[in-house]
Amino acid sequence: MELADEAIRLADLPAADRRTIMILGHEASGIPSEALDLLDRAVEIPMVGTGHSLNVAVAGSLVLYKLAGLL
């Protein structure tokens, strides 16, 4: 599965207002479905151009910046 059905866009992710745990999935296999069921929300990072995915470190950095209220 590439995207979770309930995923929100990174732009719509609010800044964290409490302690937050971020779980990053493997580029090809993602996060196991049993783990997805435990999450409060899933976030997608829309891609523009020919690239299919971001390096997990880059994707994680973008989400952390957004959670910190810096994006």
Determine the CATH number of domain 8-67: 3.40.1280.10
Tell me the per-residue pLDDT of 1-30, one tens digit each, with 9 for 90 and over: 357 788 999 999 999 999 999 999 887 788
Query: Which of residues 52 and 14 earns the better pLDDT score?
Result: 14
Q: Where are the domains of the chain?
A: 8-67
Beta-strand ranges (E) seen in the chain are 8-9, 43-44
Which backbone phi and psi does 43 adopt, to 5 degrees? -120, 135
Q: Cβ distance 67 to 19 under 8 Å?
A: no
What is the structure's pLDDT at 1?
38
Residue 44 has pLDDT above 80, yes or no: yes
What is the structure's pLDDT at 2?
52
